[in-house]
Structure 1
Amino acid sequence: MLEPTDLTTRATEGLRTSFGTQATVVGRAPGRVNLIGEHTDYNAGLVLPVALPHATYAAAAPRTDGVIRIASAQEPQAFTGHVDDLGPQIEGWAAYVAGVLWTMRESGLEVGGLDMFLESSVPLGAGLSSSASVECATAMAALGVNGRALDEQLQHSVVAAGIRAESEVADAPTGGMDQTVAVFAEEGGALLIDFDSGEHRNVPLALGERTILVTDTRVKHQLTDGGYAARRRECEQAAADLGLRSLRQADLEQVETLTDDVVRRRARHIVSEIARVEPTVAALASGDGDEIGRLFAASHASMRDDFEISVPELDLAVATAVDAGADGARMTGGGFGGSIVSIVPTDAVASVTSAIDKAFAAAGHNPPGHLVATPAAGASWSPA
C-alpha cells in the first residue's frame, strides 16, 4: 500500500499534470471494513465498522469562473461542468464526486468552481466503501478550498451530502454506514453506530496479539446492479407486513409469523444480525476468540442462507481462514462478491493468507488480495 505522503504527492501532481493547477488543499477520507452488522443500517439497526488506513485523497484548488474540472487516477475520462449546472443528472463515476458538490450546494454549503484530482488506495468493487471514501474526500476538499474548519455540524453535513449523492445521483440506495464511519472514525477504534437513535460512539479495540485481516476475493460487486435494492425492498416489505416502522422493532418470534418464505428469511437475518453486534463489541473488548468465532460464523451463515448475498469465493475464503487459524471470519459489505474480514492471531496472518491463496488456486479462482485493517481516523482536509 502506498503511504499517505505518497498518495498526497500523487494527487497534487495529478492535479498539476491534468489541469496545470497548483493544489491549495488535499481532502482525505478512508475506506472501511464492517466487523459485523450487515445490511442493518437501512433497517435502523446497529453496525460496527472500522476505518481503513487505505483512503482517497482529493487535491483541489479554487477557480473564479464557476467551472468544475475533476480527474482521477482510477478513471480514464475527466469531468468538466459548471457549478450552476450540477444536478442529479450526472452520470458515471462523476456522480460520486460532482454529485457531492451538488448536494453540498443544495444543503446551503458554499461550493464554487474548482479543479480537483483524486488518488486512492481503497480497492474498487471490494465491498470496502471506495465510493463513500471518494464522496467524503471530495466534500473535505471542497470545504478546504473555502477554508472551512471542521466541526461536528459540518461533519454531519458531509455525511448527509455523501448519502444523498449516492442515493439520488449514483442511484445506489446506501444506508449511511459508510459515510458515517468515513467521517467520524477515530484512530485505533471501531465505530458503533445506532441507526435508530442516530447515535454513534468510538469503541476502542483491545486486539492485543490479533490482527484484522481483509481478503478481497476479486469478485467485483456493484451496488447498482439490483441485488442490494431488492434486499432493501424485501426488508421494507417485512416491516410493513409486521406493522412496524422498521425491523429494529421486530423479534424472531414475530419474524416467524411472516408467510412469504423469502421475506421471512430476509427479516430473520436482519433481526439476528442486529442481536450479534453488541456481543461482538464485548468479545472484542475481552479478547474472547471463541465467542468472536461463534458470532462471525453465525453472521456469515445468515448472510449465505437467509439473506443470500454470498458467493462461492466468499464461502471458500471464510472456511479456509478459519481452518488455517483465524478466530473468526465472515463476508463483509453489500455482498454478491467483495471481501471477507477475519480476526487472526498476528503470528498466523501469513499462514492464513497463504492457505487462502492456495485454496483459490486449487479451485481455479483468480488470486485474492489481502490487506491489514489497522483502524484509522476519519476524514479531514489539510493545506497542500
Structure 2
Amino acid sequence: MPIERITFPGHSGDMLSARLDMPDGPHLATALFAHCFTCSKDIPAARRIAARLATMGIAVLRFDFTGLGHSEGEFSNTHFSSNVADLEAAADYLASRSMAPALLIGHSLGGAAVLKAATRITSSKAVVTVGAPYEPDHVSHQFGDAISKISANGQAEVSLAGRPFTIKKSFLEDVSGQNLEPCIRGLKQALLVLHAPKDATVSIDNAARIFEAAKHPKSFVTLDDADHLISEPSDAEYAAEVIASWAGRYLSLTPPAPPPGAPEGIVRVSEADPKGFLQDVNAGPLHHALADEPLAYGGTNQGMTPYGFLASGLGACTSMTIRMYARRKGWPLDHVWVDVSHDKVHARDAEAPAGQKVDTFLRTIHLQGELTDEQRQRLLEIADRCPVHQTLERASVVTTHLSEAVVEGAT
C-alpha cells in the first residue's frame, strides 16, 4: 500500500512529521491516529492498525506530536493541551486535502487526547481508544519521585522507557487541570474502547470509567493478554481486526461504481508479515481473510493455506449451485454441506503425461431433507455444473505482468 511522507504545521507552527497510509484501491474514508505518550507514529501497533484500515479503503494519518519522533519543536514545551491542538491541526490539514477524518483513534494518552478533541473535529463519526486513561493526570504516575523535583525546580529529567525526557511544571499543571468526563458524556460519535485486563501502565478500570461515562452507541472489547504498547504482533493484529470490523458499521464505506466494462472485482493479496508468510486477502473493501502456512512450514497458522482457499472455493460454489437448483425446483432440501480434500497423485494413476502430477479433489456432498432418491441423484449431477468445478476441470491460463515500481513517500 502506498505511504506518503508528509509534513504540516502543528499548534505552534513547528512542522510535524507524518505518514499517510493510502488504500491501494478506492479511498472511502480517512482516520486520524494519535500515538501514546513519548511514543511515535511508527510504533508497531500504529503501523499495523493503519495497514489494516487501508485494506478497507480507509486512509490513515499518523503523525509525531511536537518534539517527538521526526517532528520539530521542543518536547519540554508541550503538554496535553498542545497534543489536542496538534490533533486539531492534523484534522485541518486533512480537511484541506478534502480528506476530513471520519475516524479518530488514540493509543494511551493519545486516546485521552482524541476524546478531548472529538467534540471539535466535527467531521468524525467514530472514536477508538486503546489503553487510554480516564484522567490525563494518570500519566504523571510514570514520573515517580521526580514530581517533587519538578514542582520545586520548575522542571526535571525523567526516564521513560529508557529514554530521558525533560518534564516541566507546566505539564503537570496542564494534565492535572483536565476533566474528560464532560467530553466523554458529550460525544456524538460512536465509541469503541479497547483495553487489556493486565495492562500494567493504565489499569483496566480506566476503560470501565470511560465506557460508563459514554452514551450509546458504544462498545468495549478486551485485548486479553496484550501489554500496554500492544507490542506482540498477534495482539496488534487482533486490535487492528477489531477496529477495522467495528469501524465499518459507523462509516460510509460504499465504494464508487466501477467504470464501464470493469470486471466484477479484484482479489488483492498483500504481505502482512515479511518475516513469515501471513497474507491479507481482500475482495473489495468489505471482505477480508488471512492466508498463512502451518507452523511446521514457518508460518503462524493464522489463516487457511492457499490450497485451502482453492478447496473452499470449490466447496462453496458446489453448495451454492445445489441450493440454487433445489430452491428453483421447490425441493425439500433443509441443509447442504460439502467436504473437500485435495491431493496430488502421480500421472500413472491418471490420464496425464508421464512424470507429471495432477490435482485430485475429493468432494463429499451431504444433503439433509426429505428428498427422494431421484432428487438426491439429480442434485449430485447438478453439483458438476458448479462454475468453479468446471474451471478446475478445464485447462486454465494465468497471465502475469509486473506493475510499475512504486516510490514510497511524497512531500
What is the TM-score with the length of structure 2 in the denominator?
A: 0.26
Larger radius of gyration: 2
Q: Which has the higher helix share?
A: 1
What is the TM-score with the length of structure 1 in the denominator?
A: 0.27
Higher relative contact order (CA 8 A, sep 6+): 1
